[in-house]
Amino acid sequence: MQLVVARIGRAHGIKGEVTVEVRTDEPELRLGPGAVLATEPAHVGPLAIETGRVHSGRLLLRFEGVRDRTAAEALRNTLLIAEVDPAELPEDPEEFYDHQLMDLDVVLADGTEIGRITEITHLPSQDLFIVERPDGSEVMIPFVEEIVTEIDLEEQRAVITPPPGLIDESEAVVASARDEDEAGDDAADDGTKGGV
C-alpha cells in the first residue's frame, strides 16, 4: 500500500537541497538516506534520497541526480510516497497510519453516531478528520487527545468528546472581550455608588 510521507517545499541553498513538509510520524524510517520514493506527479520520480539533515527545525533532503537550485525548485509541491505493508503498524500504540483511520465510525461517548471519517488533512499544527455526517454534510474534527478520546480499530470507531459548537453550531458559546469588559464594569458599579 502507498502512503504519502512528505511534500517537497522550496529549494534550500544552491546545491540541490529541498525543504520537506513531513507527513509521517516516522521520518527517520521513511525519509532516510537510501530510501527510494514514488512521487505524485509520477513522472517526477522515483526519487532516491541521498542525504538528509535538520536545519532550523526543518528537514532538508537532497535526492540523487539533483545538483543545483534549479533542479531542486522543479520538484516543489511534489508528494513523496512510500510503499508500506498494510499489516505494518506504527511502533507507538498511540499513533496510527491514515489508512487505519479511514472509514472509521465517529461516535460520542454515549454511542451517538456523528458520521464516518472520509479524509484526513495534515496541517502544520494538527491533523483534522473530515467526517461525513448521515445527512451528507461534513464536519472537521481536530485529531487531538482532548477531543478524540479513543480509537478502537477492532470496533472500527473513533470516540469523541467535542467542545460545545464543534458538532452542533447551535450549542456554540460565543465569548468576546466586550462581554468580559461589561461584566467587569457591572462588578465595579456594585457598592461603589454614592456621594462624597
The pLDDT value recorded for residue 196 is: 43
* pTM for this predicted structure: 0.52
pLDDT tens for residues 126-184? 788 889 999 988 899 998 889 999 988 888 999 999 888 787 766 656 655 555 555 45
Burial of 26 (0-12, 13-18, 19+ CB in 10 A): middle
Round to whole Å and give the CA distance between 72 and 87. Answer: 34
pLDDT digits (tens, 9 = 90+) for 56-68: 888 899 999 999 9
Average pLDDT, the chain: 80
Determine the average pLDDT of the residues in 191-196: 45
Is a pLDDT exceeding 60 seen at residue 2? yes
The residue among 55 and 1 whose pLDDT is bigger is 55
Give DSSP secondary structure letters for 111-141.
--EEEEEEEEEE-SS-EEEEEE-TTS-EEEE
pLDDT tens digits, residue range 56-110? 888 899 999 999 999 999 999 999 988 876 666 666 667 777 777 888 999 998 9
- pLDDT confidence of residue 87: 63
> pLDDT band at residue 191, thresholds of 50, 70 and 90?
very low
What's the rounded Cα separation, in Å, for the pair 168 and 108?
Answer: 13
